[in-house]
Amino acid sequence: MPHPLLRGITRLKRQETMKIVRHPYQASIVPKTQQPGALWHVAVHVDGSSEAIAQHEAANKEDACCTAMLELVRLQRKSGAAKPPAPELRRA
């Protein structure tokens, strides 16, 4: 059984990870470290693939979410998809 401090860090990391899904793409948003002021990493994948087709870094969580949404819209327009459904925000 892990040390209580490690369980707390794992729980915190899980809470900080976000995922935005806009079929057929999804963006994962995670802090690079658990320290205040850390950069946020955005990775965009095709559903079911582990290969990132776009990666970005942002100064804060809000900027990372906006960057992810812009990238998802750009990819959908580029692929010529029909009118996309509304995005879903999920805790990863």
Residue 85 has pLDDT above 90, yes or no: no
Residue range 64-82: mean pLDDT, rounded: 87
Specify burial of residue 27 (Cβ count, 10 A radius: 0-12, 13-18, 19+): buried
Q: What is the pLDDT of residue 3?
A: 47
* 23 band by pLDDT with thresholds 50, 70 and 90: confident
Specify burial of residue 40 (Cβ count, 10 A radius: 0-12, 13-18, 19+): buried
What share of the chain has pLDDT > 70, as a percent? 71
Question: Could you say which architecture CATH assigns to the domain 17-79?
Answer: 2-Layer Sandwich (3.30)
* 5 band by pLDDT with thresholds 50, 70 and 90: very low
**Domain boundaries, given as residue ranges, for the chain:** 17-79
pTM over 0.75: no
